Amino acid sequence: MTTMTLFRSVTLTLVVWIIFVCSVVKSQTLTQKLDLLMRNASVTMNDEYLCSSYKLPANDQYIVQYEALANAGTAHHILLFGCDEPASSEDYWHCGRLCKSQEQILFAWAKNAPRLNLPKDVGFHVGGQTSIKYIVIQVHYVNPLPPGSLDTSGIRLSMTSLRQRYEAGIYLLLAYSVRIPSNSVNVFADISCQFKASGPIYPFGFRTHAHSLGTVISGYQVNNTYNLIGKGNPQWPQAFYPVENKVVIQRDDYLVGRCTYNSTGRNRTTYIGASHNDEMCNFYIMYYADRNTRLQYHSCAGNNNPRLIQKLPAYSYQQLPPNPLLEMAAHGPSGHMGDPEGHSPSPIVTAAPVTMAPTPAPTQAPTKPTTRKPETVTHLMDFESDFGGSSSGGSPTPGSEVVIGQVGGVATDKQGNVYVFHRGERVWNGLSFDQYHVFQQKNRPIKANCIVVYNSAGQVIRQFGKDMFFMPHGISVDDKLNVWVTDVGLHQVMRFPPNSDQADLVLGQRFQPGKGDNLFCKPTDVEVLSTGEFFISDGYCNSRILKYDKAGTLIREFGSSSIATFGTAEPGSGTFNVPHSMTLAEDKGLLCVADRENGRIQCFDLDGNFQLMIHSPEFGDRIFAVSYCRLHGGLLFAVNGPSLSGTPPVQGFIIDINDGQLIETWNAKPGLRQPHDIEVDPVNLRVYVGELDPTKVWRFDMKADDGTGGRGNIIHSGTTPSSSGTTINATFVETQETNKKSLTQEEEIMPAIIIGALLVIPIIIIIVIVIVIRIYKKGQHDCCGRHRSRPRKKFNIGNFLTPHRGFDRLSQEGSDTEFDPLNDDSDEEEEYSITRKA
C-alpha cells in the first residue's frame, strides 16, 4: 500500500514536471521573434521606396504572427517579400529590385493595420528547404524625413519551428492599367483570371489596397455563381480582414476583382503607378491549403476574362457603410503601432479558428467561359529557309563576304531593304564604359562598315560607316530614306541622307554623357514620323523620350525613372527602366516603347501622354525591342531577353495593339538567345530579329495559313566566335552573409538557462524513483510490472509535441493573417512579380 502510494505520487510529480518542461520548451525554444526593421534609413525624397533584408534561420520556420512597428504617418506602406537571395546586401537600398530571383509576397501593411495572427494549425512556411531564405522589407515613404532623423519602421514576426498542419499563402489580384478621368465617379479597374492549382485553397483573409481615390474593392470566386470573398474600403486600415463567407477556390474556378474610384475634386487624369499621386488596385487573398497543394501562379494581373466582368453584381461597387472608427484609425493618432489594440477600435483582424473542412468533392464542371483567343490571326509566323534568296529562286548569297558582329539594330525601308547596324569586332562588356558611362576606347573606332544594307533577297547592296562608330545601337530609316542611328559610346544620334555616308544631322556631344537638350546618355533608338518630327529614346542612364521637330529642335520630353516599385504592382506608367527600343503606330497615333528592364511595353500618344500598358506574364523580366505593323487591325511584334530566373523562354510575341492582349508567341529553332532588335517589313510581310549572340539576323515570314514552320534563317553569321558574342558581362554582386538577424537577446539566452534548470529536477526525481523501485522490487514483481506500462502510455511525448496539445500559440485570439508558405518550387512563377521589375 505505501509502495503504491509513493509510486503514484512520484509518478504524478513526474508527469507534472514533464508537461511543464514540454510547454516551456515549446513556447520558449520553438517560438522566436524576428524584428525586420529598416536599418536607420534617411529619406530625402518624396515617394521613396527603401528595402532592407534579413536572413532567416536555417531550419524550417512557420510564421504565425505579424505586428507592425511603424505608424502610417511615416510609412505609407510596408511589404514583406520572401527571397532566395536579396538584390542587395547593403543595409538598405532603393528597391528597384527586391530579390535576385523571383520574390514572393509575405505580408502587407498600411494605414495603421493592427497585429495579425494566423489561425491555429496554419503557418507561413519559410527557411529550411523552402525557397525563402531571406525576407526583404520594403517601406514606401511618401514624404522625406526631417534632416538627421533615421527611420527604423518595420514588422515583428513570430515564428515557430513546429510544423503546422496547413500552410498559408497569399494570392494577389492586381490591375496594372486603368485610366481614371478627372471628376468622375464609379470608374472601375477590373481583374479576372482562371485559378490553376493542384488542389483547392481556402481563403480566410483579404486585404485591399488603393490610394486616395479608391472607394471600394471587391473580390469574387466564380464557378457558376459569383461568391464574394471580401469587400473592403481601402481608406480604412489596410489590414487583412476575415473572409465571412465559406468560400473554397477550386482549381479551374475563376477569380474576379473590381476596384472602384471616385475622382471628384481631382482635376487631372490618374493612372496606375507607384507614387501616391497615382492609383493602385490590389486585392490580396490570404489562404490556407494542404501543404502539398501547388499553385501555378500566385497572382492574377489584368482583366483576362472580360466576359466575367460584364456580369459582375452591382454590389461589387456599392460602398460599405461609413465606419468613422475605422476611418479615424486609418489616419489615426501617430502613435507607434507596437500597441495596435490601443488604436484599433475593434478586433477587425480576428477570425474564428479555422476548422479545416474535408476537401470538398470536385465541383461539377460548370460551363466555363472560353478564354479569349482571336481566331483570325493564328500561325502568323512561319520560317523560311535562306534569306539569301530561296524565295527568288535560290540565288546564292552575295552578302557572304560581309561579316557582321553583334547586331545593335535592324530596320527596313519602304522598299523592303534591310539595314543592319552591327558592332563589327567590338563587343560591349564590363570594360566598355566606366562608372560614369564614359566610353573607354575613344581612340579605337570600329574598323568594319557598321551599316550593311541588304535587298529583300539578302544580297548586300550597300555598306558604309567604317572608322566612325564606337558602340552601335539603334537604327531607323524614314520615309525619305534617311538612315538614323544611335551610338551609345558616342552618346550621339546621327542622320545620314540617302546614299550619303556623311551625317547631315548630329545630336548630342561626342563621348559626353549627360542629360540636356543636346546631351544624351547612351541613347538607344530613333523613330521618325511622316511629318519629319522624330523621337529619341534616352536611354540606358536617362529614362526619357525626347520629341524633336523636323529641324532637330526639341519640342518636348517625357518619362522619368522607375526608381520605385511597389513590389507587387507596376512601376508608374510613364516611368522607364531602360527605354530600349521604340516603334511608331502612326495610324493609331501611338508611340510604343520597350521598357526593357521593367519587362513591358508602354504606348503613348504623340504628345507623350500615356495610353496603354502591355505587360504579359509571358514576357518575363525583360522586353528588348518592339515593332509595329498595321496587319490585322494593328499588331506589335516584340522580343524578350534572357531572364535571370531562366523562365520564361527567350522568344517573340505578337500583341494586339488595340487592347494589349498577347495573341501568339513564336520562336526560331533552336531558339532565340539574345535578340536585341526586331523589325517588321510590311512590304514583304517579314519579321527580322537581330541577335547579339550568336551574331546574326533571323528572317521570319508571316503566313496566314499553317506553314511547315521550324527553320530560322540567318542573314549572315558573324566571324566572332560565339563565346565573344555576349554583350554585357553582368556582374552580380554577391550577397554577403552580413545580414544580421535581430533575434531578441533574451529569447536566445533565457530558454537555455530555464530549460537546463528544469531538466535537472526531473532527472533527480527519476533517480529517486529508480531507487525507490529497486527497494520495493523484490517483493512486488507483479504490481510493478503491471503499472509500468500505463504511465508510459500517458507520458508519450509525442502527444505533447503534436500541435495544439498542451500549448497555445502566441496569438491572443486565434485570428487570421496571411502568409505565404512556400514550399513552392522556384519553377512556379508568380504573375505579380512580372509587374514589378525596376
Give contact residues for ligand NAG (rule: CB under 6 A): 37, 39-40, 152, 185, 215, 221, 223-225, 227, 247-248, 262, 264-265, 267, 363-364, 366, 429-431, 729
**Secondary structure class of 754 (helix, strand, coil):** helix
Which residue type occupies 223?
N
**Secondary structure class of 822 (helix, strand, coil):** coil
Distance CA 338, CA 115 (A): 9
Distance CA 419, CA 411 (A): 5
Contacts of 431 (CB under 8 A, 6+ apart): 440
Annotated ligand binding at 77? The verdict is yes
Distance of CA 154 to the CA centre of its chain: 21
Annotated ligand binding at 699? The verdict is no
- How far from 362 is each of 223, 249, 435, 705, CA to CA, in Å? 12, 11, 59, 40
CB of 35 to ligand NAG, least distance (A): 8
Annotated ligand binding at 473? The verdict is yes
CB of 44 to ligand NAG, least distance (A): 17
Nearer to ligand NAG, 267 or 502 (CB): 267
Annotated ligand binding at 781? The verdict is no
Annotated ligand binding at 125? The verdict is no
Looking at residue 834, the DSSP 8-state letter turns out to be: H
CB of 40 to ligand NAG, least distance (A): 4
Nearer to ligand NAG, 248 or 783 (CB): 248
Contacts of 88 (CB under 8 A, 6+ apart): 51, 53, 97, 733, 735
Nearer to ligand NAG, 334 or 729 (CB): 729
CB of 524 to ligand NAG, least distance (A): 22
Annotated ligand binding at 540? The verdict is yes
Nearer to ligand NAG, 610 or 666 (CB): 610
Annotated ligand binding at 356? The verdict is no
Contact 156, 90 (CB under 8 A): no
**Secondary structure class of 812 (helix, strand, coil):** coil
Distance CA 818, CA 170 (A): 6
Annotated ligand binding at 410? The verdict is yes
Annotated ligand binding at 544? The verdict is no
Residue at shortest CB range from ligand NAG: 363
Nearer to ligand NAG, 253 or 664 (CB): 253
Nearer to ligand NAG, 221 or 581 (CB): 221
Nearer to ligand NAG, 149 or 429 (CB): 429
Closest C-alpha to 171, from 233, 116, 105, 220:
105
Closest C-alpha to 388, from 378, 402, 406:
402
Nearer to ligand NAG, 356 or 481 (CB): 356
Closest C-alpha to 270, from 336, 212, 328:
212
Annotated ligand binding at 556? The verdict is no
CB of 220 to ligand NAG, least distance (A): 10
Nearer to ligand NAG, 215 or 640 (CB): 215
Closest C-alpha to 645, from 837, 492, 776:
837
> To which H or E segment does residue 590 belong?
strand 590-595
What DSSP letter does each residue of 762-798 carry, written as one string? Answer: HHHHHHHHHHHHHHHHTT-HHHHHHHHHHHHHHT-HH
CB of 815 to ligand NAG, least distance (A): 22
Distance CA 349, CA 116 (A): 6
Annotated ligand binding at 676? The verdict is yes
Annotated ligand binding at 66? The verdict is no
Nearer to ligand NAG, 79 or 582 (CB): 79
Nearer to ligand NAG, 215 or 627 (CB): 215
Distance CA 169, CA 107 (A): 10
Which residue type occupies 31?
T
Looking at residue 342, the DSSP 8-state letter turns out to be: H
C-alpha cell at position 229: 470573398
CB of 730 to ligand NAG, least distance (A): 9
Distance CA 105, CA 96 (A): 16
Closest C-alpha to 541, from 488, 471, 470:
488
CB of 395 to ligand NAG, least distance (A): 40
CB of 732 to ligand NAG, least distance (A): 11
What DSSP letter does each residue of 538-566 carry, written as one string? Answer: E-SSS-EEEEE-TTS-EEEEE-EE-----
Provide the CB-side half-sphere exposure for 781 (13 A, CA).
1
- Evaluated on CA atoms 756, 762, 764, 766, the torsion sign reads negative
CB of 242 to ligand NAG, least distance (A): 16
Closest C-alpha to 163, from 117, 112, 126:
126
CB of 157 to ligand NAG, least distance (A): 15
For the beta carbon of residue 118, count every other beta carbon within 10 angstroms: 32
Annotated ligand binding at 650? The verdict is no
Nearer to ligand NAG, 215 or 581 (CB): 215
Which residues are paired to 535 by β-bridges?
527, 547
Annotated ligand binding at 379? The verdict is no
CB of 581 to ligand NAG, least distance (A): 25
**Secondary structure class of 352 (helix, strand, coil):** coil
Detail the residues annotated as belonging to a binding site. Answer: 76-77, 140, 209, 211, 280, 410, 423, 473, 540, 580, 596, 676-677
Detail the residues annotated as belonging to a binding site for Zn(2+). Answer: 473, 580, 676
Detail the residues annotated as belonging to a binding site for a protein. Answer: 423, 540, 596
Detail the residues annotated as belonging to a binding site for Ca(2+). Answer: 410, 677
